[in-house]
Amino acid sequence: MILKNCVGLITGASQGLGKAFAESLLKKGAQVVICDINQAQGEITRAEFDLRYGPGRTAFITCDVTSLPQLKDVFSQTVQTFGRLDVLCNNAGINNENSWERTISVNLVALIQASYLALDHMRRDRGGKGGSIINVASMSGFVPAAHAPVYTASKHGVLGFTRSLAEASSLGNYGVRINALCPSFVNTEILETVNHEENLGIFYQFKDNVKNLMQAFGVLEPSDVANGFVQLLEDDNLNGAVMKITTSKGIHFENY
């Protein structure tokens, strides 16, 4: 996919990885819609992007991705504002073992819902122009984590859903590529959750385990992951791919 003049929608993009993904699209000459539950930070990020990349190329929409009406409104506003939708990145995510149902709602249910809404816009077999969906999973999609069993379950689910939807897209000639992005530890706010009992709940006793893992495996920067994000979008041969990004091996793919 040529990213210049594309329209990308990224969830949870007020900060962190989503912000880095949005900026990588802007650098490629695309237009972006960033949506996030954090309105204050979202407006700051939009203003930052307007200064850096010119006005009118970034839209921010306040949205709780677990609200279907709000999610539908984001897609409608995206097409109304920029005329099309070429890229969806399901990035919004939380790590909360206390509110574990919400973790599943944000990390998996909303991702599924947004993927279906994107397909409604993109599917060539239904009059769309095709497109690309990137679902942000994690290395937690491969390995057990005593400190975060439900977060881990959500990311395992993202991989199964992504690979299955990619197979459906291929067999059904949707013209939509759907791939998963699995970073290891990245220097963003979500890592801070391991220090809070309100996030880890009864698994707070294992916080030192995950801190030791971070020490052992290292922590990436969002820009490292954004490079993989762009590669998944630009390589038209990738559908159903599971891209891993780790400090030790960099960008590589899971071979099933």
Ligand X SMILES: NC(=O)c1ccc[n+]([C@@H]2O[C@H](COP(=O)([O-])OP(=O)(O)OC[C@H]3O[C@@H](n4cnc5c(N)ncnc54)[C@H](O)[C@@H]3O)[C@@H](O)[C@H]2O)c1
Contact positions toward ligand X, by CB under 6 A? 11-12, 14-18, 36-38, 63-66, 91-94, 106, 136, 138, 183, 185-186, 188-191
State the virtual CA torsion across 246, 250, 252, 254 in degrees, nearest 10: -10
Q: Binding-site residue total for ligand LKEAN3GG (CB under 6 A)?
A: 19
Task: Confirm if 111 and 164 have CB atoms less than 8 A apart.
Answer: no
The amino acid at 101? E
List helix spans (H) across the chain. 16-27, 39-53, 68-82, 100-104, 110-122, 149-171, 197-200, 207-217, 222-234
Is the Cβ of residue 58 or residue 96 nearer to ligand LKEAN3GG in the bound state? 96
Is the Cβ of residue 71 or residue 128 nearer to ligand X in the bound state? 71
Least distance between ligand X and beta carbon 215 (Å): 14
DSSP 220: B
15 binds ligand LKEAN3GG (CB under 6 A): no
- The Cα–Cα gap between 234 and 222 comes to 19
> Which listed residue (70, 77, 217, 219) binds ligand LKEAN3GG by CB under 6 A?
217
151 is catalytic: yes
Residues 172-211 that bind ligand LKEAN3GG (CB under 6 A): 184-185, 190-191, 193-194, 210
Task: Confirm if 188 and 15 have CB atoms less than 8 A apart.
Answer: yes
Strands of the sheet containing 87-90, edge to edge, are 58-62, 31-36, 7-11, 87-90, 131-136, 176-183, 242-246, 250-253
Q: Which residues of 42-64 are buried (b: 16+ CB within 10 A; e: fewer)?
A: beebbeebeeebeeebbbbbbbe
User: Out of ligand X, ligand LKEAN3GG, none, which partner does residue 213 contact, by CB within 5 to 8 A per kind?
Assistant: ligand LKEAN3GG
248 binds ligand LKEAN3GG (CB under 6 A): yes
In the block, tokens 């010119």 appear at 54
Instruction: Using the rule CB under 6 A, give the single segment among 70-78, 100-108, 139-147, 157-165 that binds ligand LKEAN3GG.
Output: 139-147
Least distance between ligand LKEAN3GG and beta carbon 236 (Å): 28
Is the Cβ of residue 98 or residue 170 nearer to ligand X in the bound state? 98
Number of Cβ atoms within 10 Å of the Cβ of 250: 12
Q: List the catalytic residue out of 151, 174, 204, 256.
A: 151
Per CB under 6 A, residues contacting ligand LKEAN3GG are: 95, 138-140, 143, 145, 148, 184-185, 190-191, 193-194, 210, 213, 217, 246-248
